[in-house]
Chain A
Amino acid sequence: MAMSQIDTPFADASMAAPESAVSVRGVSKNYGAVEALKNMSLEFPKGQLTSLLGPSGCGKTTLLKIIAGLIPADSGTIEVGGKAITGPGDDRAFVFQDFALLPWANVLRNVAFGLELRGVAKSEREAIAETYIANVGLAGFEKAFPHELSGGMRQRVGLARALSVDSQVLLLDEPFSAVDEQTRRKFQEDLLSLVENENKTFIFVTHSIEEAVYVSDQIAILLPRPSRVSEIIRPSSFRNKGVENIRRDPEYLDIVDEIWASLRNYVE
């Protein structure tokens, strides 16, 4: 992956190892006889978006849930902000593939629900929720219920909920896989501006090569059986060229091809 690392104008800056927001060290996880993760280690640089990309069944969701503290690792440690985690915490927020909205609650309560669980007073949490509802473009839908919204709008609710607790690390498990293609593209653009403006660390699971290359500062390619990090790619030249130019950038196209070349053997 020569093109992805050294040949940037800021080689020196990128040579100095960036500070990690999340460190995964030697993590293994078995489900009975299934080896979901084997001795996996990975660093997630602060303020950047890292994608976990790989064929389905390679342990992406498992790794993300272990980082979230939702399931325990069999061995190894996870550090968030330098501290080893023992369970879910205020420093991480999760965005779910199937949105995980309360069907009996309206948009306002759903967005405020993370804050509700963290004990924030009603008027305060609703004020915060209102801001994020507007930020994700759902102003006017505060009183709507999830079943009245499209898939894309529901995921905006899930995103607003995760943003409103103001955690340093956002964990997104294939958040756009259940929305249609146009909405998905809009989401990807919005995600780029979020990464730029929110100064949070994003860990983003996807099985789409194009999506990973489009949105990521760093891409970890995971391969199955046993699950391992096969390579780490850091696109370098097209990030600042504007969202509309990325898909035509030669580096973008090269990386997409290269990833496909290494993954194609694992597609049955």
Chain B
Amino acid sequence: MQVFGVKLPAMSSLLLWGLLWEIVGQMGLTFFVPPLSQVFATLFEIIGTPPFLKALWETGYAFFMGVFFAIVIGIPVGILMGKSRFLDELLLPWVNIFVSAPLTALVPVLMVLFGFGLTSIIITTTLFAIWIIILNARAGVRQINRSLVDMARSFGASPLDAFTKIYFWAALPEILGGVRIGVIRAVKGVIIGQLLISIVGFGALFELYASNFLMGHFWAVLIILFALAFSISEFLGYLERKVAYYAAKR
């Protein structure tokens, strides 16, 4: 951002919005927006408490399991779809439907199928993340240089060799891009799961604070969640940039 020709550091606009938030909060216009300073005070107050740590663990566990399955299923499926015309025609319509479908509407079905526990929450998280991971891995494989594949085959590569030594690496920049977006969607998935399926983790905290009008607590947990999601996404973006040097030269 530039103000009067002076280049400001990245995200300095956040300071401006934070300031606005503080002013609105101090004016006491609505209970919904307590001053930012108070939110941060609450944040440091609750961050080490057992209920918070328990919620963090419950949410973190469901989140990482969900992302894990989305990645280990999504990447191979996407690569196979990119390689095989048959699989692609079979699966692509479904992937395209689910990538844009309002998945929240499916959550009650999952509850019927898998119960009101952790399983359903993990599956919800996976469902939010997996489709974009599949699509990106597929796109990465489809732009692969054919002669790399011919080269590997001419030196006697087995199908597994071709998969792990050529297709995966050639598609890696796109795969990482898909994982980054998938992870952001998984945050959404895990919170929706914990609000709708069983009231645990951060979902339970949101529920508790909102119903007791503890807006300072509510915003504090939300800010922590945003910060966590943002950090993971930035880390994946960093990995993406590390492999980007060859993305243009495949």
Verify if B250 is at the interface (C-beta below 8 Å from A).
yes
| In the complex, chain A residues whose CB is within 8 Å of the CB of B13 | none
Q: How far is the CA of A68 from the CA of B166 in the complex (A)?
A: 19
Which residue of the partner chain, among A96, A116, A145, contacts B150 with CB atoms under 8 Å? A96
Question: How many residues on the B side are at the interface (Cβ–Cβ under 8 A)?
Answer: 21
Verify if B153 is at the interface (C-beta below 8 Å from A).
yes
Decide if A103 touches B250 in the complex (CB within 8 Å).
yes
Which residue of the partner chain, among B153, B156, B169, contacts A102 with CB atoms under 8 Å? B169
Which residue of the partner chain, among A96, A97, A117, contacts B156 with CB atoms under 8 Å? A117
CB proximity of A247 to chain B, nearest CB, Å: 32
| In the complex, chain A residues whose CB is within 8 Å of the CB of B165 | 116-117
| In the complex, chain B residues whose CB is within 8 Å of the CB of A103 | 246, 249-250
Verify if B155 is at the interface (C-beta below 8 Å from A).
yes
| In the complex, chain A residues whose CB is within 8 Å of the CB of B148 | 100, 102
Q: What class of interface size applies to chain A in its complex with B?
A: 20 to 34
| In the complex, chain B residues whose CB is within 8 Å of the CB of A93 | 154-155
CB 8 Å contact bits of A59-101 with B (1 = contact, 0 = none): 0000001001110000000000000000011101110111010
From residue 145 to 200 of chain A, which have CB atoms closer than 8 A to chain B? 145-147, 165
Verify if A31 is at the interface (C-beta below 8 Å from B).
no
CB proximity of B118 to chain A, nearest CB, Å: 38
Verify if B151 is at the interface (C-beta below 8 Å from A).
yes
Decide if A100 touches B246 in the complex (CB within 8 Å).
no
Q: How far is the CA of A97 from the CA of B250 in the complex (A)?
A: 14
Decide if A146 touches B249 in the complex (CB within 8 Å).
yes
Given contacts A100-B148, A102-B169, contact A117 B157 (CB under 8 A): yes
| In the complex, chain B residues whose CB is within 8 Å of the CB of A10 | none
Residue of A nearest to B154 (CB): A94
CB proximity of A128 to chain B, nearest CB, Å: 14
Decide if B155 touches A165 in the complex (CB within 8 Å).
yes
Q: How far is the CA of A68 from the CA of B155 in the complex (A)?
A: 10
Decide if A92 touches B154 in the complex (CB within 8 Å).
yes
Verify if B172 is at the interface (C-beta below 8 Å from A).
yes
Q: How far is the CA of A138 from the CA of B134 in the complex (A)?
A: 40
Q: How far is the CA of A147 from the CA of B152 in the complex (A)?
A: 19
Decide if A89 touches B156 in the complex (CB within 8 Å).
yes
Q: How far is the CA of A98 from the CA of B249 in the complex (A)?
A: 12
Verify if A132 is at the interface (C-beta below 8 Å from B).
no
Verify if B45 is at the interface (C-beta below 8 Å from A).
no
| In the complex, chain A residues whose CB is within 8 Å of the CB of B166 | 102
CB proximity of A195 to chain B, nearest CB, Å: 21
CB proximity of B154 to chain A, nearest CB, Å: 4
Residue of B nearest to A90 (CB): B156
From residue 135 to 177 of chain B, which have CB atoms closer than 8 A to chain A? 145, 147-148, 150-157, 161, 165-166, 169, 172
Q: How far is the CA of A165 from the CA of B156 in the complex (A)?
A: 11
CB 8 Å contact bits of A27-46 with B (1 = contact, 0 = none): 00000000000000000000
Verify if B224 is at the interface (C-beta below 8 Å from A).
no
Decide if B156 touches A88 in the complex (CB within 8 Å).
yes
Residue of B nearest to A68 (CB): B154
Verify if B243 is at the interface (C-beta below 8 Å from A).
yes
A residues sitting closer than 8 Å to B (CB atoms) are: 65, 68-70, 88-90, 92-94, 96-98, 100, 102-104, 113-114, 116-118, 145-147, 165
Q: Please provide the 8 A-B residue pairs with the shortest distance between their CB atoms, ordered closest to farther.
A: A103-B246, A100-B151, A114-B155, A100-B147, A94-B154, A117-B155, A103-B249, A147-B249
* A-B contacts, 20 listed (Cβ < 8 Å): A88-B154, A89-B156, A92-B154, A93-B155, A96-B151, A98-B145, A98-B147, A100-B147, A100-B150, A102-B148, A102-B169, A103-B246, A104-B169, A104-B172, A104-B243, A104-B246, A117-B161, A117-B165, A145-B246, A147-B249
Sample of 15 more A-B contacts, CB < 8 Å, known A100-B145, A145-B246, A147-B246: A65-B150, A68-B154, A88-B154, A93-B155, A94-B154, A96-B150, A98-B147, A102-B148, A103-B249, A104-B172, A116-B165, A117-B155, A118-B155, A147-B249, A165-B155
